[in-house]
Amino acid sequence: MRRLALLVAALCGGGADLDAPMPMLKVTLHHGAADKRYAPPDAHESLARIEFCAYCEDPHTEGSLARGLTALQGARDYKITSKLVYALPNDASTKPMNADELTGNVALVHRSATPLVQKILHAQEAGAVGVVLVDDGRCESDLNCGRIGSARLGGFAPRDDPSSWRLVKIPSVLVSQETGKRIRRLMPLEHFEVPKLGTQWVSPRSAASHKRRRGARPPARPPEPTRPARRRRRQREEL
């Protein structure tokens, strides 16, 4: 009942207490030996299992299920459960500004022109323990993404130089645009205009933080009046 009440409150946009624990989406990523027990018989070895749910303790027993394409290089045998947090900028084209939220959690990242490995490294440097990459519609529903990769090719980024992945230590999964929408619908998010980045999806806490920083700027100091202006002001006061 408490879980249902919290979910209704979040959807209705009730007054949020910034000091209270924020509603969160939990996600579990499985692949390799960690996933064999649960994988369907026809599952390709390059497909990872993603389980996610809001206001829950264990996504494996309570969550929705989706499949994603794991990276051909980097971590291949993993099972992690953590909070899912949007990277800021959403496409992780630069090192995320919200490292405090990402540390110890899984980063949600949009696909864009930036190389996928670069996005993953940016999230890793910000402290993320995994990355869920959301396709922008260029992949087919079965995650056949052409040159970017496919299940048949063994995962995504099959043509990348292995040396570019040598620093990657965290798992990463590419999901379809539709799966990304399913995930996003369960996350407490605000559309917010971020300087130099444009409109971004951010958590209510990040939005409040940006608003506070903007509000903390000292007001512009009015210019000192010139000598003729001071003279005219004295004349008005004498009248």
For the stretch 177-219, pLDDT in tens is 999 999 999 998 988 888 888 899 988 877 777 667 655 444 4
Which residue did the predictor score with more confidence, 76 or 172? 172
For the stretch 143-174, pLDDT in tens is 999 999 999 998 999 999 999 999 999 999 99
Residue 131: which of 25, 27, 24, 23 has the closest Cα?
Answer: 27
The yes/no answer on whether domain 22-209 falls in CATH 3.50.30.30 is yes
Question: Is the pLDDT score of 86 beyond 60?
Answer: yes
pLDDT on residue 76:
83
Question: Is the pLDDT score of 24 beyond 50?
Answer: yes
Which residue did the predictor score with more confidence, 28 or 74? 28
Hunting for tokens 């998010």 — which residue is that?
A: 189
DSSP letters, the chain, are -HHHHHHHHHHHTPPP-TTSPPP-EEEEEEEGGGTTTTS-TT--TTEEEEEEEES-S-HHHHSEEEEEEEBSSS--SEEEEEEEEE-SSTT-SS--S-HHHHTTSEEEEE--SS-HHHHHHHHHHTT-SEEEEEP-S-S-TT---GGGEETTTTEE-TTS-GGGGTT--S-EEEE-HHHHHHHHHTS--EEEEETTTEEEEE-HHHHHHHHHHHHTSPPPPPPPPPHHHHHHHHHHHH-
Question: Is the pLDDT score of 233 beyond 80?
Answer: no
Every domain of the chain and the residues it spans: 22-209
| Range with the largest mean pLDDT of 6-10, 38-42, 45-49 | 45-49
pLDDT-derived band at 42, boundaries 50, 70, 90: very low
Q: What are phi and psi of 196, to 5 degrees?
A: 70, -10
Q: What pTM does this model have?
A: 0.77
pLDDT on residue 119:
98
